[in-house]
Amino acid sequence: MVSPAIALAFLPLLLTMIIRYRYYFVLLYRAVLIRWVRDCLTGLSREERAFQYILTHATPGDAQSILDTFDHWCSKVEFISHIGPKKGKILDRLLQEHCPITVLELGTHCGYSTVRIARSLPIGARIYSVEMDERNAQVAEKIIRLAGFDEDMVELIVRPSDEVIPRLREDFGVERLDLVFMDHWKRCYLPDLQLLEGSGLLGEGSIILADNVIFPGAPNFLRHARRSGLYEVRVHRATLEYIRGIRDGMAELTFLGIK
């Protein structure tokens, strides 16, 4: 039988673990436990709850207000993995620098990043936003309309991304993508990137921005991007949205063109 003294000797280890990985515990609590409890209590999905909150708290037609309300809800009430305000600033800066005309967004979720992109796009630009989940897409559509963007600006496609990308040219008449924003399943980053490469929609100077490449992380995606030689890779280091202590990053890939 193990004596209590030996068990007590493991106490420092336990404390160390708890202190060192406290942010992960917080994340676990906020993203999983609270969500589960609320789901059981309200019977609504998380996204619908977020929409309700926004409907009651934000000013319709004001993109900034909607984004702020989102941030507030995500940091104070519940947790949804959006791009967040800090990484959003990087996105804004990129948009201002490059002024893309055609944007593809993979993973709309609640439409936070769609609104964020749409508000800083030039007139005549177009976003194709891809979302797989039906319910999320409904919420996203509502939020996008609430923010005041119409179908000409934002085209919401409710299909899995790997089906959409090869058909972008035929179905939507896209010739070239200036910016691709990836924030869907991290495992799909690499296959989708390869699909994009194959489709020929990327031109020289096209930018692919991938969120959450460090946490939860997309190592294969990064490895491919670095080794293929097709891209100029920059990783913007930041922290995970709404939680300070977890490091995360956004990968900015500039397509150099196929030689």
Single out the segment in contact with another protein by CB under 8 A; choices: 15-23, 116-124, 161-169, 171-179: 15-23
In the bound complex, what is the minimum distance in angstroms from residue 65's beta carbon to another protein? 33
Q: Which is nearer to another protein, 140 or 218 (CB)?
A: 218
The 10 Å Cβ neighbour count of residue 192 is 26
Single out the segment in contact with another protein by CB under 8 A; choices: 13-21, 30-38, 65-73, 119-127: 13-21
Q: Which is nearer to another protein, 12 or 173 (CB)?
A: 12
Q: What distance lies between CA 153 and its chain's CA centroid?
A: 19
Nearest CA-CA partner of 141 in 77, 71, 49, 47: 47
Number of residues that bind another protein (CB under 8 A): 24
In the bound complex, what is the minimum distance in angstroms from residue 28's beta carbon to another protein? 11
Q: Which is nearer to another protein, 53 or 215 (CB)?
A: 215
Q: Which of residues 159-188 bind another protein (CB under 8 A)?
A: 186
Q: Which of residues 22-81 bind another protein (CB under 8 A)?
A: 24
**Is 219 a residue that touches another protein (CB under 8 A)?**
yes
In the bound complex, what is the minimum distance in angstroms from residue 6's beta carbon to another protein? 6
**Is 229 a residue that touches another protein (CB under 8 A)?**
no
In the bound complex, what is the minimum distance in angstroms from residue 133's beta carbon to another protein? 18
Ordered DSSP codes for the chain? ---HHHHHHTHHHHHHHHHHTHHHHHHHIIIIIHHHHHHHHH-S-HHHHHHHHHHHHSPTT-HHHHHHHHHHIIIII------HHHHHHHHHHHHHHH--SEEEEE--TTSHHHHHHHHTSPTT-EEEEEE--HHHHHHHHHHHHHHT--TTTEEEEES-HHHHHHHHHHHH----EEEEEE-S-GGGHHHHHHHHHHHT-EEEEEEEEES-IIIII-HHHHHHHHHHSSEEEEEEEEE-TT-SSSEEEEEEEEE----
Single out the segment in contact with another protein by CB under 8 A; choices: 113-121, 164-172, 176-184, 208-216: 208-216
**Is 258 a residue that touches another protein (CB under 8 A)?**
no
In the bound complex, what is the minimum distance in angstroms from residue 163's beta carbon to another protein? 23
- Name residue, tokens 């007139």: 123
Q: Which is nearer to another protein, 20 or 167 (CB)?
A: 20
| Catalytic center residues | 183, 186, 211-212, 241
For residue 130, give the amino acid letter: V
Q: Which positions lie near another protein, rule CB under 8 A?
A: 1-3, 5-6, 8-13, 15-16, 19-21, 24, 186, 214-219
